[in-house]
Amino acid sequence: MIEIKFAVPEPLLRDLEAIAESEGWKLAELNRIVWERGFAAYAEGSNKRLVNRKMRGATDSKEEG
């Protein structure tokens, strides 16, 4: 495993701690899920931008020809 350190706003951390406690989760488990889902959302957006760029490139080349 690799340890990653990052900073979050204190109110966000307090909310996360409250959710973890109410759900019966360890804070580390909830942190992992939040990080993983956040990364998934970023990757999805990144993939959409890539597809969009490729489609626009294909359209641009057809218009030029």
What are the tens digits of pLDDT across the range 1-13?
Answer: 888 788 889 998 8
DSSP per residue, 1-65: ---------HHHHHHHHHHHHHHT--HHHHHHHHHHHHHHHHHHHHHHHHHHHHHHHHHHHHHH-
What are the tens digits of pLDDT across the range 4-45?
Answer: 788 889 998 898 889 888 889 898 888 888 888 888 887 888
Question: What is this structure's pTM?
Answer: 0.51
Sequence-separated (6 or more) residues with CB below 8 Å from residue 56:
none
